Homo-oligomer: A and B are copies of this chain.
Amino acid sequence: MKKVAKKEIKKLDERLAFAQRQLRSLGSSVIIVVEGWGASGKGKLINDMILPLDPRGFCVFTKSESDEEKRYPFLRSYMTKLPKHGEISIFDSSWYRKTLNKYIDKKILKSDFEKDIEEISNFEKIIADDGTLILKFFLDITKKEQKERLENLLSKTQTRWRVSDEDILNNQRYVSFKNVFKKMISKTDKAYSKWKIINANVTEIASYEIKKAVLSAMEEKIKEKNLSLDPKKPQIPEKADTDFLKKVDLSLDISKKDYKKELEFYQKKLFDLQNIFYLKKIPTVIVFEGWDAAGKGGAIKRLSGGLDPRGYRVFSTSAPTKEELSYHYLKRFWNNFPKSGHIAIFDRSWYGRVMVEPIEGFCNEDEYKRAFWEINETEKILYDNKTVIVKFFIHISKDEQLKRFEERKKNPEKAWKLTDEDYRNREKWDEYVCAIEKMLEKTSTSYAPWHTVSGNSKKYARIYVLKTVCEAMENYLKKEEKEL
């Protein structure tokens, strides 16, 4: 192996900095994963890579899962660390680490290992589809080299603490590790997120190789981005194949007396369930979608009226801010997914991606089409993390909506709720029906089913919601009991 000339490195560094600026102006993000053997030189190699870059545009994340993060699906902490459009996130160790460690320590069933691998691949696909370049490096050193490096670290007071007993043990288990790494790499080497194995026995050469690989992938991306065609407008089906909404019986109602009785009954029951779920550390996600003025807010108020505020939060989804638009559209929801034992209530949600966004042209055809899969996979990740998911679509008739709009107009306490946009949306009622039908059809899964709610009677809808949430939570407990 020959040494790399200093001049050549300088030139490479300048090109890297230039590529970073170009990608930034194109709004293309990059994710760089650096995995590898213990003592393979990750720190030094990452520092070499970032020094030529503008620090405004990248961030290095180090493995280390806080106890707070342990209360979420393991992928969440990475989802929330995704780069803004045009920026770079570098992961020193990554979402592979936890599963790898569990596998090596034999703390994971084969089926769960496969499930993790699938989740990881889906996660990477969701990100890559958004236009993010994913580069994964594995720093490879020989068993002998690793042993020498560990001994070298141990020989100095300054660095001795960096070597744990486990590191030494791991060096002895080098061969079996190698097999696990190989398996992991081969299973997750995808067109949209390729692995590159770097010979890291000579750090200087490895550094040059990594930078060259990063630069070449970046330049490729720039070319591709410059060539890419104008995105197509999303196509909502003109006629619905299903009739979920028509099937909702809008005449359902409840007497005032029964309403009061049931409200009290289910609020108390839900409070008890909140307690049990808190103790059992089970998270709950409740999604509310529905027509304007369908009564989402009122239903949420009755749902949360009896809860302990320290264990639930309501997230109202409005149009994304400029800041939010500069990330993957799912990120702002990932931020708000509940931790173990908590309840997250979404007043509108990620389903905006398949309703208002395509109708108003806020996403393109590709984005619209792949959203169904993305959403199902995301909810699957929550479900795999033992989350109870309940989704409501509150349906009302077009006449009932008009009536409620007029009432709001007259009532000074409620007039602020009514905007011109509500009337504009109303004009697109039929278009929305088609989008909603498609959504209900494509995203109702066994683990996260939709409940269509008869909403012409607000009271009926509120009780239905409360009852359905209680039932979903009770069913979870029953299922859990059965499995034991």
Contact = CB atoms under 8 A, between A and B. Distances in A.
Interface of A: 14, 17-18, 21, 42-44, 46-47, 50-51, 54-56, 59-60, 62, 66-68, 92, 158-159, 161, 272, 275-276, 279, 300-301, 304-305, 307-310, 313-316, 318, 321-323, 347, 413, 416
26 contacts: A14-B413, A18-B413, A21-B416, A43-B309, A43-B310, A46-B310, A47-B304, A47-B308, A51-B301, A55-B300, A55-B313, A56-B318, A60-B309, A60-B313, A66-B68, A67-B67, A67-B68, A68-B68, A92-B310, A158-B275, A158-B276, A159-B275, A161-B279, A321-B322, A322-B322, A322-B323
Given A42-B310, A47-B304, A56-B316, 20 more contacts: A43-B308, A44-B308, A46-B310, A47-B305, A47-B307, A47-B309, A55-B300, A55-B313, A55-B315, A55-B347, A60-B310, A60-B313, A62-B310, A66-B66, A68-B68, A92-B310, A158-B275, A158-B276, A161-B275, A161-B279
A51 B305 contact: yes
A309 B66 contact: no
Contacts of A276: 158
Contacts of A316: 54-56
Nearest to A315: B55
A313 B59 contact: yes
A24 to B, nearest CB: 11
A17 B301 CA distance: 13
Contacts of A92: 309-310
A337 to B, nearest CB: 16
Nearest to A279: B161
A214 B55 CA distance: 44
A404 B309 CA distance: 58
A385 to B, nearest CB: 19
Contacts of A301: 51
Contacts of A310: 42-43, 46, 60, 62, 92
Closest 9 CB pairs of A and B: A55-B314, A66-B68, A56-B316, A323-B323, A62-B310, A43-B308, A47-B309, A46-B309, A60-B309
A105 B481 CA distance: 41
Contacts of A315: 55
Contacts of A323: 321-323
A105 B290 CA distance: 52
Contacts of A51: 301, 304-305
Contacts of A44: 308
A347 to B, nearest CB: 7
A49 to B, nearest CB: 9
Contacts of A416: 21
Contacts of A60: 309-310, 313
A23 to B, nearest CB: 14
A349 B413 CA distance: 45
Contacts of A54: 316
A227 to B, nearest CB: 24
Contacts of A62: 310
A445 to B, nearest CB: 27
Contacts of A67: 66-68
Contacts of A47: 304-305, 307-309
A308 B42 CA distance: 9
Contacts of A347: 55
Nearest to A271: B158
A322 B326 CA distance: 13
A315 B66 CA distance: 23
A279 B413 CA distance: 59
A161 B341 CA distance: 14
A241 to B, nearest CB: 35
A331 B51 CA distance: 27
Nearest to A324: B323
Residue in A18, A272, A304, A310 with the greatest tally of chain B CB atoms within 10 Å: A310
Contacts of A17: 413
Contacts of A309: 43, 46-47, 50, 60, 92
Nearest to A59: B313
A317 to B, nearest CB: 9
A307 B46 CA distance: 11
Contacts of A14: 413
